Amino acid sequence: MPARILNGNAIRDQIYSELTGEIATLSSAGIRPGLAAVLVGENPASKIYVSSKIAASEKLGLASINITPPATISTAELLAIVEDLNRRDDVDGILVQLPLPPQIDAKKILEAVDPAKDVDGFHPLNVGRLVAGRPNLVACTPLGVMEILRRSEIQIERANAAVLGRSDIVGKPMALLLMHANATVTICHSKTRNLPEVVRRADIVVAALGRAAMVTPDFIRPGATVIDVGINRITDAALAENLFARFPERLASFRAKGSAVVGDVHPDVANVAGAVTPVPGGVGPLTIAMLMSNTVRAARLRRGSRIHATARS
């Protein structure tokens, strides 16, 4: 039996429906959550990401502020922009799109964001709260993976989970979230010995390596749940022939466009796994949904006294 497809678009729509009610409650208290996106320079991929985030904000009725300084901006100048956003009461969430140009001290910029407005969940204070099991604002992609698992009724408690990748943005917070949900977690990386054998023990596999189709069927225990975080654009025809040999529609699309977006998981894994997320249409929509959720949460936490006062009146 082919794997069950865990549809990220459908889960995103569920979350948006729930957020609409929360936003209406805030609106009745005179609060419109606001998200500020800072996009430095003209990176095409970053422009697409930020545009999709702004579009989601506007769809939900959130206020959106798009700031686009030039790629030549200095660290000090960008810090001044962040500090101004920290002071603004109409801004509940601040998103600084990565990567930043090489002359910018990215860590200094991310640490300058007010932790109460850090809707990306990257600030050391928010990371520390997650480590301590007292999360406030959590990195959006791993938070979205947890929503996929829970809303798809995948058992997390007592499951063996393998997280492939140890980045600060995905791998580490993903492992912590799974551990706090009572999974037994193994973090795998480029130095892990016998990687396929280690991953094959897992009931849940989260692939976040940034390497196209690296996770092949021999990595996966039959029936396991596989979450593919990777987004990789391929243009090599031989690679496409290999990946899409059993998927003629995707191969035809590649031939027509000359490129395709694939994850870190080989498409043939769908013949072994019990459930998989597609790429595109899996984790990606949830990353944006959780950014919206974090923005609404930040607004609620920052301005809670005003909401309570409206409820009492």
Tell me which residues are annotated as active site. Answer: 53, 97, 120
Q: How far is CA 101 from the centre of its chain?
A: 22
Side chain identity at residue 194, one-letter code: N
103-112 own/partner pairs: CB under 8 Å, 24+ apart: 103/74, 103/75, 104/40, 104/73, 104/74, 104/75, 104/78, 105/75, 108/75, 108/79, 109/75, 109/78, 109/79, 109/82, 112/79, 112/82, 112/83, 112/86
Q: What is the rounded distance in angstroms from the CA atom of residue 216 to the CA atom of residue 200?
A: 11
257, two tokens: 């466009």
CA angle 73, 76, 80 (to 5 degrees): 95
In 208-266, the DSSP E strands lie at 225-228, 232-234, 260-262
Tell me which H or E stretch contains 82: helix 75-87
Residue 247, classed as helix, strand or coil, is coil
Per-residue CA distances from 100 to 39, 50, 108, 272 (Å): 9, 13, 12, 39
Which residue, 106, 41, 48, is CA-closest to 69? Answer: 41
9, two tokens: 């678009």
Side chain identity at residue 70, one-letter code: P
CA angle 112, 163, 180 (to 5 degrees): 70
